[in-house]
């Protein structure tokens, strides 16, 4: 074991249950090398799941790609779904290893990477540490962050905002009606504009943003509209950032960015001298996207699940 990681690790006994599950998944594999890969990945996910349950972090094994025989065959995947936050990748290493190999196919759409080391008998797994992101296939174990920081790190990740619940009338805390966050005149104009350009069934909620401007009349709001699309099961979505309070223009350098679940920007614009920034797009249930509003070195990011 790497001496720099000795100060905090977590060992998990690999009981019969863990090996039985791994063996069940291996039955779907005819290639010996692939079978061993699936076996180790399964044990790694089992160990991380056990640790997170001890930390009262909610997980969802059943929706993880690593628990899907088809995805196991197609990919080298060892993900664990963290409820309302995203996928945590659990990468296995053998005893005595100094590096962990992380395939390029899992470099994106992950909230972090935990490294799990097995003893020679595969009867015990030790969580060595984690890293937030990777961009190369080999990562020295000496560069891992302490496992002690993982629960706090996960707590800081904003939960996904489930837009399907909005369609059912259940709204995320902090997201308010236009009347609540806009001045009466602004709300009247907003309603007039939306009634003329959007279906009457559109659902709109807004959230006041904290970008260091919340003093006096300098305030901003993020508005999200959604409506069931003309093509089932698409959902039509619009995302807008606008000034509120006594201001009628955005800061010129303000940026609005829409990115997909891999973290790649799909749309991006800068305010300049405009009164608001708005993007419109469609998505299917189960898809994820993020919205980032940035001004100088400050930014706010919201993550959504359609």
Q: Are residues 62 and 101 in the same domain?
A: yes
- Opening angle at CA 179, ends 299 and 84, nearest 5: 45
| Residue 176 and residue 124 share a domain | no
Burial of 251 (0-12, 13-18, 19+ CB in 10 A): middle
- Same structural domain for residues 120 and 250? no
Mean pLDDT score across all residues of the chain: 86
In sequence order, which residues have a C-beta less than 8 Å from that of residue 200 and are 6 or more positions away? none
Express each pLDDT in 177-202 by its tens digit. 888 887 555 555 454 445 545 555 68
Containing structural domain, residue 22:
3-155
**Residue indicated by tokens 């996904």:** 160
Reported as a pLDDT band with limits 50, 70 and 90, residue 113 is very high
Which of 125, 155, 185 terminates a domain? The answer is 155
Q: Which of 114, 134, 167, 190 is nearest to 304 (CA)?
A: 167
| Domain boundary, last residue among 121, 155, 189 | 155
Question: Do 90 and 115 reside in the same domain of the chain?
Answer: yes
The token duo for 127 is: 């969580």
Same domain, 173 and 281: yes
Could you give the maximum distance between any two Cα atoms of the chain, in Å? 71
CA separation for the pair 101, 137 (Å, rounded): 5
Q: Total structural domains in the chain?
A: 2
Pair 127, 252 in one domain:
no
- If one counts every other C-beta atom within 10 angstroms of the C-beta of residue 154, the result is 18
Contact residues for 275 (Cβ-Cβ < 8 A; gap 6+): 242, 243, 248, 249, 250
Please identify, among 155, 188, 212, the residue that sits at the C-terminal boundary of a domain.
155
Q: Which of 38-52, 98-112, 160-174 has the lowest mean pLDDT?
A: 160-174
Are both 26 and 126 inside the same structural domain? yes
pLDDT 10s digits, 51-102: 999 999 999 999 899 999 999 999 999 999 998 888 999 999 999 999 999 9
Identify the burial level of 252 via C-beta atoms within 10 angstroms of its C-beta, where 0-12 means exposed, 13-18 middle and 19 or more buried.
exposed
Report residue 14: phi and psi, to 5°.
-90, 95
Q: Identify the weakest region by mean pLDDT among 48-62, 178-192, 221-235, 243-257.
A: 178-192
- 15/100 same-domain check: yes
Task: Identify whether residues 10 and 137 lie together within a single domain.
Answer: yes
Regarding whether 238 and 129 lie in a shared domain, the answer is no
149 & 10 share domain: yes
In this structure, the answer to whether residues 297 and 223 fall within a common structural domain is yes
Token couple for 111: 């909230």
């Amino acid at each position: 074991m790497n001496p720099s990681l000795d100060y905090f690790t977590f060992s998990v006994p690999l009981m019969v249950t863990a090996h039985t599950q791994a063996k069940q998944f291996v039955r779907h594999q005819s290639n010996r090398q692939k079978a061993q890969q699936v076996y180790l990945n399964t044990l790694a996910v089992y160990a991380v799941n056990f640790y997170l349950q001890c930390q009262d972090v909610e997980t969802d094994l059943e929706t993880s790609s690593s628990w899907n025989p088809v995805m196991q065959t197609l990919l080298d995947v060892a993900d664990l779904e963290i409820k309302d936050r995203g996928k945590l990748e659990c990468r296995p290493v053998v005893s005595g290893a100094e590096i962990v190999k992380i395939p390029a196919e899992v470099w994106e759409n992950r909230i972090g990477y935990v490294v799990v080391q097995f003893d020679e008998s595969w009867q015990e797994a030790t969580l060595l540490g984690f890293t937030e992101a990777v961009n190369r296939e080999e990562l020295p174990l000496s560069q891992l962050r302490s496992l002690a920081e993982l629960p706090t790190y996960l707590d800081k990740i904003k939960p996904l905002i489930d837009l399907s619940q909005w369609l059912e009338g259940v709204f995320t805390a902090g997201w308010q009606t236009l009347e609540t966050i806009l001045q009466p005149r602004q709300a009247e104009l907003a309603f007039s504009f939306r009634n003329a350009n959007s279906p009457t069934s559109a659902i709109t909620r807004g959230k006041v943003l904290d970008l260091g401007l919340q003093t006096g009349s300098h305030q901003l709001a993020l508005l999200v509209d959604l409506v069931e699309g003309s093509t089932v099961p698409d959902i039509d979505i619009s995302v807008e950032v606008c000034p509120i309070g006594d201001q009628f223009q955005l800061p010129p350098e303000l940026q609005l960015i829409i990115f997909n679940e891999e973290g790649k920007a799909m749309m991006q614009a800068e305010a300049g001298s405009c009164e608001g920034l708005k993007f419109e797009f469609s998505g299917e249930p189960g898809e994820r996207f993020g919205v980032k509003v940035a001004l100088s070195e400050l930014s706010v990011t919201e993550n959504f699940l359609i």
